[in-house]
Amino acid sequence: MKSGNLIIALLIILIIGIGALGYSMMSLYNEMQKEINNLNSTILNLNNKTQITYNEKLSELANKIGSLENSINNFNSSVNTQILSLQQQINSLETQSQFPVTLIDATNTSVTITSYPERIVSLDPATTEILLSINATNQLVGVDNDSFYYLPPQYENELWKLYNEGKIINIGSTYSEPNIELILSAKPDLVIGTYQWSFSAVAQELKNYGIPTVLLPSYNSLSDLYNAIIMAGRSTGNIKNAVNLVESMSANISYFRYLINNISPQNVSYLLWINPTYVAGGNTFQNDMFILSGNNNVFSNISGWPIISPEELLQANPSIIIIDSNGGLINETTLISWLQSSIGNAYQNISAIKYNRVYTINGYYSDYLDEPGPMVIYGIKLLMMITHPSLFNLTTVPNNISPNTFPLNK
C-alpha cells in the first residue's frame, strides 16, 4: 500500500515537473522567437539603411561622373574649337601665301591677281560649274543667267539658294554677252570666263577698270578642261581642291578605258541643233568623250562644231545618232523632216535610222554632254551606256533618254 502510494506520488511529481519544464521551455521559446524577430528587424533596418546609403552614394557618384563628363566634353569642345580656328587660320595664311599669282590664260594674256579674291564673277555655265566643283562657292558674287538653267540640279539649286539669299547677282546671258554694268555693280576682284565665248572684249573693258579677268581653255579637249580646272584653282586660291578634282576625274577615265578595252567601237554622230544642223567635230572635248566611251566620231575629220548637210550625214552613215533636244525643241521627228526635205526617202538608208538607234537627250543630261566642266565624267558614262549597253547589263535603251527613263546609277 505504502509502495503504491509512493509510486503515485512520484508520478504526480514527475507530471508536475514535466509541466513546469514545458512551461519554462515554452517561455524560453517565446523569448528566443522574440529575440529572433528583433534580430530580423534589426537586420532589415540595417539592410534598408545600407541600401539607402548605397543608393545615395551611387547617385552621388553618378552625379560626379556626369559632371566630370560634362567638364571633359566642354574641354574637348573648347580644344576642338580652338584647333578648328587654328586650322582655319593656317589654311587662310596658306591660301594668302599663294598670292600674288601671275598666270597666262587661254588668250595668251598675262594676268596678275594680287591677293586672295573674295568677290568672283563667273561669265558662263562651264566656268561656274568648275568654280562650284573646287569649292569656290563662298567667293562667288555673280554668275551669268545661263548658269541658273543649264547646269545639273545640284549646282542649279545651290545657285538659286545663293541668289535668293542675296549673295550673288545675275549678270545677264552668256549668249547675248554679259552686262558690264551689272558686273561692276557686284564689285568683283576677279572675273573668270571661258575663252571660246569670245569674252576678250569684255576682259579688256574690265581690265580698264582694274579688274583682273582670266579666260579659261575648256572646249578643245579634255586636256584643256584639266588645264582650265587647275587655272581656276590657282586664280581663286583653291589649287588643292582643283588638283584633287583633276585626279578624281583622271581615275574615272582610267576605269572607263579599262571597260572599253575589248569592245568594238560604234560610229556615232552628235547633233547639237537641226536645220541648220550643227554637229560635234574633231578637236572638241565632245570628240574626246566619244573616244573615251569606246566610239568613233564620224565627223572627227572636221574641227569644231560645223554645220553639215543632209547629204553629208547620209554619206557619213553613223550607226548611232545622238540628238541634244535643247529643252525639248528638237527630236528624231525634226531630224527626219530635215533629211526628207532634201534627200527624200534616202534618209532610211542611214544605219542609225534604219535600225532604230536614234537617241534624244533630255533634261540635265544635256549638260553632261554640252558643258566642258567636271560633269563630263557622267557624260562619258552616259555615252557608254547608250552605245555599249551590255557593259552595264542593259538589254534595251529608250530612244528618249532622260534622268527618269535612263538612270545613270545602273
Q: Do 238 and 270 lie in a common domain?
A: no
Of the candidate ranges 38-42, 143-147, 235-239, the one whose mean pLDDT is the lowest: 38-42
Whole-number percent of the chain with pLDDT over 70: 76
How many whole angstroms separate alpha carbon 98 and alpha carbon 36?
Answer: 90
Of the candidate ranges 9-23, 170-184, 389-403, the one whose mean pLDDT is the lowest: 9-23
Answer with the one of 224, 251, 278 that is the final residue of a domain. Answer: 251
Q: Do 244 and 275 lie in a common domain?
A: no
Kindly tell me the burial class for residue 236, based on how many C-beta atoms sit within 10 Å of its own C-beta (0-12, 13-18, 19 or more).
buried
* Packing angle, helices 285-292 and 239-259, rounded to 10: 40
Q: What is the mean pLDDT of residues 60-73?
A: 64
Q: Do 346 and 311 lie in a common domain?
A: yes
Q: Do 268 and 234 lie in a common domain?
A: no
Tell me, yes or no, whether 342 lies in a domain: yes
**What's the grid cell of residue 128?**
561656274
Answer with the one of 195, 227, 251 that is the final residue of a domain. Answer: 251
**What's the grid cell of residue 141?**
558674287
Answer with the one of 193, 225, 251 that is the final residue of a domain. Answer: 251
Task: Name residues whose C-beta falls within 8 Å of residue 47's C-beta, 6 or more positions apart in sequence.
Answer: none
Phi-psi region at 401: left, alpha or beta (left = phi > 0; alpha = psi -120 to 50): beta
pLDDT of residue 200: 85
Q: What is the mean pLDDT of residues 91-107?
A: 78
Residue with cell string 509541466: 19
**For residues 361 and 325, is the Cβ–Cβ distance under 8 A?**
yes
CATH number of the domain within which 315 lies? 3.40.50.1980
**What's the grid cell of residue 107?**
588668250
Tell me, yes or no, whether 120 lies in a domain: yes
How many whole angstroms separate alpha carbon 183 and alpha carbon 123?
Answer: 9
C-alpha closest to that of 132 among 107, 161, 104, 106: 161
Q: Is the pLDDT of residue 80 over 70?
A: no
Q: Do 306 and 246 lie in a common domain?
A: no
Tell me, yes or no, whether 365 lies in a domain: yes
**What's the pTM value of the predicted model, to 2 decimals?**
0.76
Tell me, yes or no, whether 184 lies in a domain: yes
Q: Do 305 and 356 lie in a common domain?
A: yes
pLDDT of residue 196: 82
Q: Do 368 and 323 lie in a common domain?
A: yes
Mapping DSSP onto H, E and C, the string for 178-197 reads: CCHHHHHHCCCCEEEEEHHH
Cα dist. 379→160, 345, 365 in Å? Answer: 24, 33, 7
Q: Do 207 and 333 lie in a common domain?
A: no
Which helix (H) or strand (E) segment holds residue 113: the answer is strand 110-113
Q: Is the pLDDT of residue 2 over 50?
A: no
Residue 207 three-state SS? helix
Q: What is the CA radius of gyration of the chain?
A: 43
Of the candidate ranges 189-198, 328-337, 343-352, 379-388, the one whose mean pLDDT is the lowest: 189-198
Which helix (H) or strand (E) segment holds residue 141: the answer is strand 140-143
Q: Do 241 and 270 lie in a common domain?
A: no
Question: How many alpha carbons lie under 13 Å from residue 230 in its C-beta half-sphere?
Answer: 14
Condensed to tens digits (0 to 9), the pLDDT of residues 252-295 reads 999 999 999 989 999 999 999 999 999 999 999 999 999 999 99
Q: pLDDT confidence of 74, banded at 50, 70, 90?
A: low
pLDDT of residue 23: 56
Residue 118 has phi, psi (to 5 degrees) of: -105, -10
Total number of domains constituting the chain: 2
Give residue 132's domain range. 101-251
Residue 177 has phi, psi (to 5 degrees) of: 80, 135
Q: What is the dihedral of CA 76, 79, 84, 86, to 10 degrees?
A: -170
C-alpha closest to that of 376 among 266, 306, 235, 280: 280
**For residues 73 and 79, is the Cβ–Cβ distance under 8 A?**
no
Residue 330 three-state SS? coil
Q: Do 213 and 284 lie in a common domain?
A: no
Q: Do 391 and 320 lie in a common domain?
A: yes
Q: Do 242 and 305 lie in a common domain?
A: no
